[in-house]
Amino acid sequence: MPEKGNNMQEAKVVKTLLPVLKFYRWAIPVIILLGVLSSFFEGFGIILFIPLLQSFVQNNSQTTSNSAFVDVLNKIFVNFSTNDRLAIIALCILGSIVLKNCLFYSNTVLFAWLNSRIGHRLRSGIFNQLLSVSYSFLEGNDSGKLINTLSRETWQTSIALSTLVTLTITICTVSVYVILLLLISWQLTLIVSVLMVLISLFIQFVTRQVKILGEQAVKANSDLATRMWEGLAGMKVIRAFGRESYEQQRFDLASKKVVNTFLKLDIFSGSVQPISEVLSSILLLCILVLALLQDPSSLPTLLTFIFLLYRLQPQVKQLESTRVGLIGLTSSVQDVMHFLDRSDKPYIHSGHIPLKNLEQGIYFESVNFRYNPQEELALQDVSICFPKGKTTAIVGPSGAGKSTLISLICRFSDITSGEIYVDKYPLRELNITDWRHQIAIVSQDVYMFSTSVMENIAYGRLDATEKEIIEAATLANAHEFIMQLPEGYSTKVGDRGVRLSGGQRQRIALARAIVRNPQILILDEATNALDTISEHLIQEALNTLSQSRTVIVIAHRLSTIEQADQIIVLDKGRVIEQGNLQQLLEQDGLFAQLYHLQYRNASI
Ligand SMILES: Nc1ncnc2c1ncn2[C@@H]1O[C@H](COP(=O)(O)OP(=O)(O)OP(=O)(O)O)[C@@H](O)[C@H]1O
Ligand SMILES: [Mg+2]
């Protein structure tokens, strides 16, 4: 008997899967219809055996059975001569088989198409979700789990879908068969059904015993493992207390228990198949014999009936296994659907104001920001400005909130309170694509795609020419080392390619930013992995670059900071000092301390 809990689970899977199917609403009824028609033709082919066999038994015209359906079937061919009848029925049977298989094949193809489409839609939907959901959501989620959802669980959902369709088709097939059986003889069908249910109850009883024995076997095995482990771990104590024979006895007892339970398990589980086969055969034979004793002329009908029953059996088994399979896939389906659900996740919404050029600058007004509601503020009451065409350096100890400030400018996260203005527009009202188009960022953690150096640099501007890419690489002081790579600009880098050093990665990332030719250039410790000479060379390039640009640079090195038009000092999320180099040194605060400390180290 199906349990109530399981039924509810199936309903849950079906309910969860429905949104996936909504784009292909037409396909499901077609698939089911094809499934039903193919079962119908199969059944039809089988019942045609009744008139066929009847022709051999006796003259058809004299035959009457106690089934109106069988009589009608026999009468259809009554006017043909025996030979013609045989030929026509054989052709009809052949036609049914061919039709059934054509329909079945069309269904397989249609379903394969549907399944691949849905699989693609799911994967694409999940990837789109990854691209559009707020960055904070991704950071808060385990990346391994996300990859699992994207790869494995999506496949599982496709499988769940195919299982659901198989289940539906099997239900239809079983229904067609049962209807045909009822039409041939409702009395026989009723008797067979009752007896089948009794047999299945008996089998279920045996299966339950097998399950209990299975649990006992698992326990016996784990007890034995414990004995082994304790024997090993406590060897010193065992020997010291002279308990060798006692332990040997305990071990043998546990081992014998394993032997006994597994033997019982094998005896019981092995009996299910033979018992079920013997019982069903006895049942069928009894029906055959009893029915034939009553009416010997009904042999063709009976044989067809039994054949139909035989064909029905695997379908019933499949019904159960697909049902169980579907339940096993519930969690995968829920995982995928939960990830695709847009109602419970944060998004960065784009504004409507287009932006072609930065005119005045970026202004922070009393900006507060926290990553999570339960966490402390990462930025507190920040009021600063980044004027157009100027270079602003942000300095401060680790964890002060420098990268956080950058991520707010790039709108990776939205502020908690206050406002950021770009010229006179609030940042969140600007079209986000327009805004990000103005920016190029070289962040602290440089990411290289698994492709060529050339493509990695061109990622900054997809239509960049080779000449522009080489120019950018030269400016970023990367050209020389790229030319020394095995295949120059075509060398594959990233996870599956050549491993680059931190400094080399930084220079490629810099070239990527340069080739973008942005209005706003953001460098988050973009040169910290470089040696002094490389840094000096890049610094010169950056000086040229920053002449016509708004540059925000986070750096610890003095050389970078000294060139800046203004310096902002952050500590624990607050702006504590602000001004140019001279003003800050005069203030003699945190910046001056850091400055003098570095100078002393540098001069050592
Ligand atoms: N994704 C995040 N989720 C939660 N808290 C974060 C996240 N990123 C940073 N923080 C916290 O915000 C604070 C500021 O971090 P931020 O990365 O901005 O510092 P930083 O000044 O760039 O430091 P560093 O010089 O080490 O790069 C830190 O206390 C950090 O723990
Ligand atoms: Mg940082």
The verdict on 331 and 224 lying in the same domain is: yes
The verdict on 308 and 374 lying in the same domain is: no
Residue 480 covered by a domain: no
Q: How far is the CA of 402 from the centre of ligand 1 (A)?
A: 8
Ligand 1 atom with minimal separation from the 397 CA: 25
SS (H, E, C) 436-485: HHCEEEECCCCCCCCCEHHHHHHCCCCCCCHHHHHHHHHHCCCHHHHHHC
Best substitution site from 403, 406, 590 to test ligand 1's pocket, by max atoms within 8 Å of Cβ?
403
pLDDT band of residue 68 (cuts 50, 70, 90) is confident
The verdict on 391 and 278 lying in the same domain is: no
Q: How far is the CA of 385 from the centre of ligand 2 (A)?
A: 19
The verdict on 400 and 268 lying in the same domain is: no
Q: How far is the CA of 13 from the centre of ligand 2 (A)?
A: 44
Q: How far is the CA of 582 from the centre of ligand 2 (A)?
A: 25
pLDDT in tens, 233-277: 888 889 988 889 999 999 999 999 999 998 988 888 888 888 888
Distance CA(357)–CA(438), nearest Å, equals: 8
Residue 1 has what pLDDT? 40
The neighbour count for residue 602, using CB atoms within 10 Å, is 11
The verdict on 331 and 418 lying in the same domain is: no
Ligand 1 atom with minimal separation from the 401 CA: 18
Pocket of ligand 1 (CB under 6 A): 139, 371, 378, 396, 398-404, 444
The verdict on 255 and 389 lying in the same domain is: no
Beta bridge partners of residue 361, listed in sequence order:
387
Closest CA to 405 of 437, 372, 380, 440: 380
Residue 469 covered by a domain: no
The verdict on 258 and 302 lying in the same domain is: yes
Q: How far is the CA of 379 from the centre of ligand 1 (A)?
A: 10
* Residue 320, H or E segment: helix 299-328
Tokens of 446: 């440089």
For atom 4 of ligand 1, which residue has the closest CA? 371
The verdict on 382 and 329 lying in the same domain is: no
What average pLDDT score do residues 17-35 get? 81
User: How does the average pLDDT of the chain come out, rounded?
Assistant: 86
Q: How far is the CA of 409 from the centre of ligand 1 (A)?
A: 15
Residue 604 has what pLDDT? 38
Domain boundary residue among 340, 372, 398?
340
- Radius of gyration of the chain measured on its C-alpha atoms: 39
The verdict on 211 and 356 lying in the same domain is: no
Higher pLDDT, 468 or 595: 468
- For residue 433, what are the domain limits? 349-437+554-604
Residue 576 covered by a domain: yes
Check if the beta carbon of residue 485 is closer than 8 Å to that of residue 524.
no
The verdict on 319 and 415 lying in the same domain is: no
The verdict on 333 and 424 lying in the same domain is: no
Residue 493 covered by a domain: no
The one-letter amino acid at 490: S
The CATH number for 330's domain is: 1.20.1560.10
Ligand 1 atom with minimal separation from the 405 CA: 18
What is this structure's pTM? Answer: 0.74
The verdict on 243 and 217 lying in the same domain is: yes
Residue 516 covered by a domain: no
Q: What's the structural domain count of the chain?
A: 2
Residue 304 covered by a domain: yes
Residue 149 has what pLDDT? 81
Ligand 2 ion: Cβ-proximal residues, 5 Å cutoff: 403
Tokens of 315: 């379908």
Best substitution site from 372, 402, 557 to test ligand 1's pocket, by max atoms within 8 Å of Cβ?
402
For atom 8 of ligand 1, which residue has the closest CA? 404
Beta-sheet strand order (sheet of 391-395): 439-442, 520-524, 550-554, 391-395, 566-571, 574-579
